[in-house]
Structures are given as structure tokens and as C-alpha cells.
Amino acid sequence: MEKSILIIGACGQIGTELTFALRTMHGNESVIASDIREGNESLMDSGPFEILDATDYDALEEVVAYYEITEVYLMAAMLSATAEKFPMRAWNLNMNSLFNVLNLAKEKKIDKIFWPSSIAVFGPNTPKENTSQSTIMEPSTVYGISKQSGERWCDYYHNKYGVDVRSIRYPGLISWKTMPGGGTTDYAVEIYHKALSEKAYTCFLKEDTELPMMFMDDAIKATLQLMETDTENVKVRSSYNLSAMNFTPSQMAESIQKHIPDFKISYEPDFRQAIANSWPASIDDREARQDWNWQAEFDLEKTTKEMLGNLAP
């Protein structure tokens, strides 16, 4: 049977690039983009689009029936920094949207789900270096609590109802096509924009805050690879650790200075410092490597070259 794919939250940082990648693979008409708002012009012009609220089960069911959807990528969520400001709204969006999609699969209305988790599932008591797949978690943010609960529910729906749900704990994602949507790692995108426009950036994290990060092309590659692999290879049904590079704001500034020597960085940590402090500095992703041959391609130097090259006027 032909695949028919629905992306929910398609206008965001990841959804936009995921939509383009899936349309290249499966054809524009087989990939339905949806969001609660319209996206950028190139996304809107590239194929079918529906305004859809991920928390509205009936509306979701209707779109799934109309387009005979077989796979759903659920990218709608409230991210870490914004969720600290609106805890209940974040919980409602992040959990209800996931239940809606899991229940569609339980009812056999769709065959397969991708739902992203995050390194935010880890917390201040988690070992910080080379954090393993299964370890102490105890997330201390609303966002992290919603992602950890989501992981448990994905695992439960797989074991109990046979739902084919697949997931990755994305690190902070760096991309140039769309701006990030209110996360704690957003500095790693903003810095390139400011480096080009003002040759200066004031970072909201301290200079030595090391966090796991990934260039968007690697994140999209991993997502598609996990979704394409045979079901018996998917041994983790909560969410896979995934790693590409780890760096601090000052290391990032140094990599930019190789291209823009007079670039200056200063530091004014805000509430996001506490969130960053609760997360790992590096991630052990051996399960993803073993189970579905994951291998990252972009390190910091390659990412900087790609970001500055694409954002330069």
C-alpha cells in the first residue's frame, strides 16, 4: 500500500525541513503538512497543507480519514524555555497531542508514528558525561517531565497495543531555514545570525555551559533512518539517545571567529541557565548505532561553515 504521511507541527524548526525531506522521498502529494498556523512561503507552496490543532482528536481523525493517512510525525509541542512560563498549557499540548496520535494507532487508523523526545528527559541527578540510554532521569523542567511521561506512554502503547511508535531524544538542533521555537539551545542558532548582522552576540548561557547539539541535516537523516528501518531493529520503544557533537558557547564563538575574526561574544545568563545546568553535557548513543547504524556527519566546524555559508547575505 502507498504511504500517506501527515506531519503535525509542520511549520516549526524541524517540521519545515522534515516536510521538504519527506516530499523529496515520497512525492509532494503523499505528504500532508499541518499546523495550527501557516508556515513560510516555500513550505506552503510545496504541497498539501491543513490548519489542524493537534489537541483536537475529532479534527485529527477527520484529516487522517480524508487523506487515508498511514504515518504521522507529531512535531507540535511547547519547548523547554516557553514551557517554564506556561506549565499547564505546555502539559496539555505536549501530552494530549501525543495521546491523540497514540490512540489513532491503537484504533488501527494509522500504522506508524514518529514522536520526538529530548535530552530534557534527563535531570540534575543524571550522570552528566556520556549519559547512557537507561540511567537516573528525574527531569526538573515542565518540558522534561512531559517528554519523560511521553516516553513511558510510547513504550506502554507499543507493549500493550502493538503500536509502532518510534522516537529519538534530540539534542539541541542547529538550522538555518527556520528560527528555533523557544528552547534552551536556541543560542546556538541566534549566534550565527548576530555574528553576520552585528559581529557581536550576547549569550543567555554562561561561556562554559557544555550541551549536546546536532546540525539539522543529521537530525532529519536520523529521523528518516529510524522510520525506514525494519520493525525488528527498533529495540527501544521509549526513545533513542542520539549524539553528534558537544560544545560550550565559548567554543562556538571560537569556531565563528575562524571565519569572522572580529566577532565578539558576551554573556548575560538568564533563567535558561538553570535549565541547561540540569541537562547532560554529552550523550552515549550506542543503541542507535547498533540497532539502526546511526552515524553523525556534522561536527562543530562543519556546522559553522554550513550556517555562515547559508545565512550570509
CB of 262 to ligand NAD, least distance (A): 29
Q: For residues 79 and 283, which CB has a smaller minimum distance to ligand NAD in the complex?
A: 79
CB of 258 to ligand NAD, least distance (A): 24
Q: For residues 193 and 259, which CB has a smaller minimum distance to ligand NAD in the complex?
A: 193
CB of 245 to ligand NAD, least distance (A): 13
User: Is 156 known to be catalytic?
Assistant: no
HEC assignment per residue over the chain:
CCCCEEEECCCCHHHHHHHHHHHHHHCHHHEEEEECCCCCHHHHCCCCEEECCCCCHHHHHHHHHHCCCCEEEECCCCCHHHHHHCHHHHHHHHHHHHHHHHHHHHCCCCCEEECCEEHHHCCCCCCCCCECCCCCCCCCCHHHHHHHHHHHHHHHHHHHHCCEEECEEECEEECCCCCCCCCCCCHHHHHHHHHHHCCEEEECCCCCCCEEEEEHHHHHHHHHHHHHCCHHHCCCCCCEECCCEEECHHHHHHHHHCCCCCCEEEECCCCHHHHHHCCCCCECCHHHHHHHCCCCCCCHHHHHHHHHHHHCC
Catalytic residue among 67, 73, 143, 157: 143
Q: For residues 55 and 257, which CB has a smaller minimum distance to ligand NAD in the complex?
A: 55
Q: For residues 116 and 139, which CB has a smaller minimum distance to ligand NAD in the complex?
A: 116
CB of 39 to ligand NAD, least distance (A): 7
CB of 17 to ligand NAD, least distance (A): 9
Estimate to the nearest angstrom the gap between the alpha carbon of 235 and the chain centroid. 20
With CB atoms as reference, the residue minimizing the distance to ligand NAD is 12
Contact status, residue 165 vs residue 237, Cβ threshold 8 Å: yes
Q: For residues 18 and 265, which CB has a smaller minimum distance to ligand NAD in the complex?
A: 18
C-alpha span between 93 and 108 (Å, rounded): 23
Binding site for ligand NAD (CB under 6 A): 8-9, 11-15, 35-37, 52-55, 75-77, 79, 93, 116, 118, 170, 172-173, 180-181, 183, 185
CB of 53 to ligand NAD, least distance (A): 5
φ/ψ (deg, to 5) at 267: -130, 125
Q: For residues 37 and 160, which CB has a smaller minimum distance to ligand NAD in the complex?
A: 37
Catalytic residues: 143
